Amino acid sequence: MAGPYGQGEGLYNRPPFMPGTKQQGQQSKDSVAQRYRDGLAALDQYCKANKSGKAFADLSGDDQDELLKGLESGKVKLEGADGKKFFEQAIKDIQQGWFADPVYGGNRDMVSWKMIGFPGARYNYLDWIDRHNERYPLPPVSIAGRADWTPQR
């Protein structure tokens, strides 16, 4: 969140702010990082007030799941942040980090690609176009290559 994305670089952030359509995305002076700060603080405040004084991180997995489902559905209302929008932002960022090429800072060592069998940024899949439901035998490749590759001299 300390980089350009989290700081809202390149986005218009001057008033007046008007409610936009879903396709227009967030319309606010707040950066993504600020929305996370506000959302996480409001989430912990909600948990402490409604979950025996515990922070979100201290809740059981089942309680965390229940709370996240409440945020997703809009049933859980946070004070100082829109819980549903906070949840949607977090899911979007998690998905992008999970599936992104490691050169962008997420998906370290291509672990998510390895888990789902995604071959990555390989230049040629012609031999595999018509082969469905078969596990791809080669490890994934990032835009930057693979860590175990060494330049040929």
Tens digit of pLDDT at every position of the chain (153 positions) = 888 888 888 877 788 878 778 787 777 788 899 999 999 999 999 999 999 999 999 999 999 999 999 999 999 999 999 999 999 999 999 888 888 999 888 888 899 998 988 888 887 878 888 988 888 888 899 998 876 665 555
Q: Are residues 51 and 86 in the same domain?
A: yes
Q: Is 16 inside a domain boundary?
A: no
Q: Are residues 129 and 77 in the same domain?
A: no
Contact 110, 120 (CB under 8 A): yes
Q: Which residues of 77-106 are buried (b: 16+ CB within 10 A; e: fewer)?
A: ebeebbbbbbbebbeebeeeeeeebbeeeb
Number of domains in the chain: 2
pLDDT value of residue 120: 87
pLDDT value of residue 56: 95
Q: Are residues 124 and 64 in the same domain?
A: no
Q: Is 70 inside a domain boundary?
A: yes
Q: What's the domain range around 51?
A: 29-99
Of 57, 83, 99, the last residue of a domain is 99
Q: Is 152 inside a domain boundary?
A: yes
Q: Are residues 115 and 89 in the same domain?
A: no
Q: Is 39 inside a domain boundary?
A: yes
Q: Are residues 85 and 116 in the same domain?
A: no
pTM: 0.75
Q: Is 131 inside a domain boundary?
A: yes
Q: Is 76 inside a domain boundary?
A: yes
Q: Are residues 52 and 80 in the same domain?
A: yes
pLDDT value of residue 117: 84
pLDDT value of residue 106: 83
Q: Is 12 inside a domain boundary?
A: no
